[in-house]
Chains A and B, each alone.
Chain A
């Protein structure tokens, strides 16, 4: 079974600085998708970024980028120029590729605090 591990329950960063959130996963599949979701205090889950395993190039979305190391099964999220609105729970998630609507497997989350 696939598992997703987030080893940092809490992280904090000074506003405008850069922070990296860690995520590792375990799978025997060769093709899959990885996601980072953000859950602010409103508890609405918001997709931050996604990565297809077959792509070697790391995904980027504005201030958010990932470091995808397939061999190491690592998928970290880097947030640059941190803003107060980035404060939230961040969940790493894995999805088998195959076809159809596969379920997401979530990590335990990292609570990110932004220090003004």
Chain B
């Protein structure tokens, strides 16, 4: 089945630094990947839609200069949290689909802690 690999699973960084999260589709090509943020005991909030070879589409209220998304190939999308602050601490999840009619496959998520 379709597999999406997300790394790292956990990261702790100092305030003011940048952190990169990778999302790879292992056995299929993903022209589109989605990035979500999830706060404890809450639902997934879509941050942006990443399209291979073009600019990402950000949801309203998401700072595109803070959350940089790059989708340079059909199997890799990255989310970079720039100048991270404690309020950016959260659980970030990516997803992609070989055929979206059958649902999306999710990465295992990244727990970001900014200290």
Instruction: Give residues in A with beta carbon < 8 Å to B.
Output: 33, 35, 37, 42-47, 50, 52, 91, 95, 97, 100-104, 106-109, 111
Contacts and interface: CB of A to CB of B under 8 A. Distances in A.
Query: How many B residues touch the partner, as a band?
Result: 20 to 34
Interface string B14-35: 0000000000000000011010
A97 to B, nearest CB: 8
A47 B38 CA distance: 17
B104 to A, nearest CB: 6
B44 interface: yes
Contact of B49 (A97, A103, A108): A103
A47 B103 contact: yes
A44 to B, nearest CB: 5
A45 B32 contact: no
Contacts of B109: 43-44
B34 A91 contact: no
A103 B34 contact: yes
A107 B43 contact: yes
Contacts of A103: 34, 46, 49
A45 B95 contact: yes
Top 6 nearest A-B pairs (CB, nearest first) are: A101-B32, A45-B106, A47-B103, A106-B43, A108-B43, A101-B100
A104 B42 contact: no
A19 to B, nearest CB: 20
B108 A104 contact: no
B97 interface: yes
A65 B104 CA distance: 19
A91 B44 contact: yes
Contacts of A35: 103
A24 to B, nearest CB: 15
Interface string B71-115: 000000000000000000001010101001111111011000000
Contacts of A106: 43-44
B57 to A, nearest CB: 9
Contact of A102 (B31, B93, B100, B106): B100
19 contacts: A35-B103, A37-B103, A42-B108, A45-B93, A45-B95, A46-B106, A47-B104, A47-B105, A52-B101, A97-B101, A100-B100, A101-B31, A102-B100, A103-B34, A103-B49, A104-B34, A104-B46, A106-B43, A108-B42
